[in-house]
């Protein structure tokens, strides 16, 4: 793609030859514009992050009472944390392209002389931001409501595992959301497609987190599971990059 410079921008003089030439807009500029728009819309509607966070906290409360125990640790704690984060993420994934589909944002984007991958990157970054915000609420709530061992020592390792998990969820979630949103059954199809693809992230995340949340845990996640998560992120990042253009086609 050719990068347009600031000089080639359409200026106050639209009669100039430069202003009439077709241009391809620089991808980083487009990603920034798309991401800014995405975050502004979320800030004004509060449709995704509050719902995701509330769902996670409510789920922890339900687990608190359903398990009939005051605290959890190890495998059980890791499983509860990752499954809850997964389902909360599904709520955000389902909403990711709704404003674009319902308000013509897709058409506006497709009419522009831009790399379509910019939309994938911007949406994935937006979803990543939503997941980080979700975890800022969910992880302390989890520690408060359910977790037995202190999070202090586990925190650096947990942050690393969550970051790897979030990258995978963002790539898969964006891909699936773009596919589902153009169907009539998007609310159903999104989760149905996303869940099987996200299961390996839950497995990898839970296995990597389990020793961190064990009583007297090591504080270091197993490298094997971190590598698995990283590889899965890479594979789905490439798949999303390869397929995204086709998903936007008529």
Partner 1 sequence: MSAVEVEGLARHFGEREALSDVSLSLQAGQTLVVFGPNGAGKTTLLRVLATLLRPHDGDVRVLGSRLPSEAWEVRGRIGLLGHEPLLYRELTARENLRFHARLHDVADDRVERQLELVGMGDRADEPLRALSRGMVQRVAVARAVLHDPELLLLDEPRSNLDPAAVAMVDPLIAAGSDPARPRTRVICSHDPSGGLAEADVVLGLRSGRAVLASAADEVGPEEIAELYT
Q: Which residues bind partner 1 (CB under 8 A)?
A: 4, 8-12, 14-15, 19-20, 22-26, 29-30, 32-33, 36-37, 40-41, 44-45, 99, 103-105, 107-114, 249-250
CB of 247 to partner 1, least distance (A): 14
By beta-carbon proximity to partner 1, the closer residue of 91 and 122 is 122
CB of 107 to partner 1, least distance (A): 5
| Spatial separation of the C-alpha atoms in residues 199 and 83, rounded to whole Å | 9
By beta-carbon proximity to partner 1, the closer residue of 5 and 70 is 5
By beta-carbon proximity to partner 1, the closer residue of 100 and 233 is 100
Burial (CB < 10 A; 0-12, 13-18, 19+), residue 22, is exposed
| Spatial separation of the C-alpha atoms in residues 79 and 66, rounded to whole Å | 15
CB of 170 to partner 1, least distance (A): 22
Long-range (24+ apart) CB contacts under 8 A made by 152-158 are 153/217, 153/219, 154/212, 154/213, 154/217, 154/219, 156/219, 157/212, 157/219, 157/220, 157/221, 158/209, 158/212, 158/213, 158/221
CB of 219 to partner 1, least distance (A): 43
By beta-carbon proximity to partner 1, the closer residue of 24 and 153 is 24
């Amino acid at each position: 793609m050719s990068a347009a410079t600031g000089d080639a921008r359409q200026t106050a003089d639209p009669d100039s030859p430069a202003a009439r030439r077709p241009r391809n807009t620089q991808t980083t500029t487009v990603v920034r514009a798309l991401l800014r728009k995405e975050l502004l819309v979320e800030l004004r509607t509060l449709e995704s992050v509050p719902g995701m966070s509330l769902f996670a906290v409510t789920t922890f409360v339900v687990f608190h009472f359903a398990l009939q125990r005051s605290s959890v640790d190890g495998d059980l704690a890791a499983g509860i944390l990752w499954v809850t984060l997964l389902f909360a993420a599904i709520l955000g994934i389902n909403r990711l392209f709704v404003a674009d589909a319902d308000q013509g944002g897709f058409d506006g984007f497709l009419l522009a002389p831009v790399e379509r991958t910019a939309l994938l990157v911007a949406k994935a970054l937006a979803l990543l931001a939503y997941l980080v915000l979700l975890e800022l609420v969910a992880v302390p709530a989890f520690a408060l409501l359910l977790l037995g061992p202190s999070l202090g020592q586990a925190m650096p390792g947990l942050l690393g595992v969550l970051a790897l998990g979030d990258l995978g969820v963002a790539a898969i979630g964006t891909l699936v959301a773009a596919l589902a949103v153009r169907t009539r059954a998007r609310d159903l199809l999104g989760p149905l497609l996303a869940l099987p693809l996200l299961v390996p992230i839950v497995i990898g995340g839970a296995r990597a987190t389990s020793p961190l949340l064990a009583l007297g845990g090591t504080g270091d996640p197993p490298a094997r599971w971190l590598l698995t998560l990283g590889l899965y992120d890479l594979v789905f990042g490439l798949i999303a990059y390869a397929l995204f253009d086709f998903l936007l086609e008529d």
